[in-house]
Structure 1
Amino acid sequence: MAELSEYSGIYEHISLSRSESGVLEARFHTNGGSLRWSVSVFMELVSFFRNVGLDRANRVVLLTGTGDEFVGPRANPAGSQMATVTEGRTLDAGYWEQVGFGLGRQLLSSILDIPVPVVAAVNGPVLRHAELVLLADLIIAADDATFEDSAHVKYQDIVPDGGIFLAALASFGSHKARSFIYLGEPITAQEALDMGVVTKVVAKGGELKLAREIAEQLAAKSDSTLRFTRALFSNPLKVKAVEFAHQAFVYEGMGYLDRPQT
């Protein structure tokens, strides 16, 4: 088991607080600004989500971002962002097994293993790793929010990883997920609302307030109701993760390593 005092304050990119009713609020950031994706962020999120799931005092989880974007940056063409994301490490097969396959599967499973409802307050564009919010139970989005997979097929000629693949398929359906992945087409908050993916769209700056209100409403329910209902929604996704999402992490690495390296 874990306690908030043991993991609060140990993360460089995650600020934590918890209300008396048990709503754990996690704000993602990089140096106080919008979250910039990296291997360090990757590793922190796996640890964080695992600790969240092990802390019985967390009755509802609220995820939000900082600044103008929820997470970025948007990947650039020709794989130029890979060095930034991997922090200069050589992407050989061993490193990909450790980070791409190992951490990738852990991130997906650690999100799905959170045993209580997850509410996301999306403060702006989600430019990569949209599974961080798409796998939430309820999504409150600012009106300028968008959902995008810039880090794979469109800009970097890379197979999508299992997390974004599963999240896109579950959220958008088979055909819309194809255009989201193959073409990298951003989906606006309003489009996501029309598809039933987003719960509410509000004027920018109001998303966190509404998300907090909803989280507190949920926290008034019993532990058994919260945990068993979460299990009803997350368990089918866990099955799909084992069936084929984990393969996607292997395909991603094989596809990247097969490309001519510059």
Structure 2
Amino acid sequence: MISFQSKNGVGLIQIDDPPTKNSLSESMAEAMLEVLLEVESDSSVQVLVITALGEVFCSGGNVKDFTSFPGDRGGYVGGMMERVYNPLVSRLRALPMPTIVALNGPAIGAGVGLALNADFVFADEESYFHLPFVPKFAIVPDFGSGWLLVRAIGYSKALALCLNGERISAAKAMEMGLVQQVCKPGAALSDALFLAEQICRCAGTATLRTKELLRQAEHMEIDDYLSFEKKLQAESFNSRSFDEAIAAFKGRRVPDFRGM
């Protein structure tokens, strides 16, 4: 259902449930949350890439989960969101290392939120985003997708996408700033792994500090940001990686930040 492997600093999560079009069922979300907790505690993982097997990245929540429950469906769904969905969103956003989603196919419903909660999205040119919550199921967007869209493209555009259920092509998503790169068919994963390998050549501590700095900038006032920036910069100048960078600069060689 969920596989994880790590090599040379790059962690790779693969969603593998083609019969359900990689739906984000409760059991799938629980499995992914467990893997993310493992990744978070593994200091050898410098970059995390998330992708899926099959023709669909993620078809969203499994409708069977929601319709087969005989009692209070709202109570069941609310409980599931509190137990699994929302912690999964929070954990993914809180990961200290950069995260990249390789969109191998459509991201639908909660799959949109899963993709957009990553730091970077590399999308197959034939992939698309689709938000069927309101027009097809008469429910509100979940997995943080509404929150993400408002911040990425503004309230009016986000509301329009949620209400009309329009499919957003990879090319249009890139124009809107939702996707960092549109890839040739079948190349999203290899392109994402290439970026991951490039990031791994940087000093790991500098990468982590930079992600933390920019994440905090989302809700900081400028004076608080500058104070935090000063703290992290002082730590950086006192680091082994900075010593290696200066030695490499003086020696006219490429710095070797392995283990730093």
TM-score (norm 2): 0.76
Q: Which residue of 2 aligns with 1:15?
A: 3
Give yes or no for the alignment of 1:67 onto 2:49. Answer: no
Query: What's the CA shift for 1:110?
Result: 0.7
SS at match of 2:196: helix
Name the CA distance, whole Å, in 2 between partners of 1:131 and 1:121.
Answer: 14
- Aligned match of 1:180: 161
> 1:141 deviation in Å?
0.7
Q: Deviations over 1:50-104 (max 9, x none)?
A: 222122111100011111110116x8xxxxx63x134733462543342123323
The reply on whether 1:136 has 2:118 as its aligned counterpart is yes
Do structure 1's residue 45 and structure 2's residue 26 form an aligned pair?
A: no
Corresponding residue for residue 54 of structure 1: 41
Q: Which residue number corresponds to residue 145 of structure 1?
A: 127
1:206 partnered with 2:187: yes
Paired with 1:48 and 1:94, the residues of 2 have a C-alpha distance of 27
Indicate if the aligned counterparts of 1:39 and 1:85 stay in contact, CA closer than 8 A: yes
Q: Once the 2 structures are TM-superposed, how far is the Cα of residue 195 of structure 1 from its aligned partner? A: 1.8
What is residue 234 of structure 2 aligned with on the other side?
A: none
Residue 158 of structure 2 aligns to a residue whose secondary structure is helix
How high is the sequence identity, in percent, across the aligned residues? 25
Which range is displaced more, 100-109 or 131-140?
Answer: 100-109
CA change 1:32–1:111 in 2 (3 A) is same
Question: Unmatched 5+ residue regions in structure 2?
Answer: 221-260
Distance in 2, matches of 1:34 and 1:210, equals: 23
Shift of 1:161: 2.4
User: How many angstroms apart in 2 are the aligned matches of 1:90 and 1:172?
Assistant: 39
Q: Which residue identity is paired with 1:210?
A: D
- Write the letter of the residue equivalent to 1:18: S
Q: Which residue of 2 aligns with 1:169?
A: 150
Between the aligned partners of 1:231 and 1:132, the Cα distance in structure 2 is 20
User: Secondary structure at the residue paired with 1:56?
Assistant: coil
Q: Which residue of 2 aligns with 1:217?
A: 198
Alignment match, 2:225: none
Tell me which amino acid in the other structure corresponds to 1:145. S
Cα distance in 2 for partners of 1:33, 1:182 equals 25
Q: Which runs of 5+ in 1 are unaligned?
A: 1-12, 76-80, 240-262
> Is contact 2:109-2:141 (8 Å) kept?
no
What is the aligned partner in structure 2 of residue 9 from structure 1?
none
Matches of 2:159 and 2:202, distance apart in 1: 38
Does the 8 A contact of 2:117 with 2:148 survive in 1? yes
CA distance in 2, matches of 1:68, 1:174: 31
Shift of 1:227: 1.0
| Secondary structure of 2:102 counterpart | strand
Question: Aligned letter for 2:11?
Answer: L
Q: Output one character per residue of 1:98-131: Cα deviation in whole Å (capped at 9) or x when no partner.
A: 2123323212211111110011111111012111
Q: After superposition, what is the alpha-carbon deviation per residue over 1:186-207, rounded to whole angstroms, capped at 9, x for unaligned?
A: 2110001112221111211111
**Higher RCO (CA < 8 A, seq sep 6+):** 1
| Aligned twin of 1:117 | 98
TM-score by length of structure 1 reads 0.75
Distance (whole Å) between structure 2 residues aligned to residue 109 and residue 141 of structure 1: 23
Sort the Cα spacing of 1:32 and 1:228 in 2 relative to 1 into closer, same or farther, 3 A. farther
CA contact (8 A) 2:109 2:142 kept: no
The runs of 4+ residues in structure 1 deviating greater than 6 Å are none
Q: How many residues align?
A: 218
- Write out aligned runs for 1:222-261 (5 A): 222-235=203-216
Amino acid at match of 1:176: K
Whether contact under 8 Å (1:109, 1:238) holds in the other structure is no
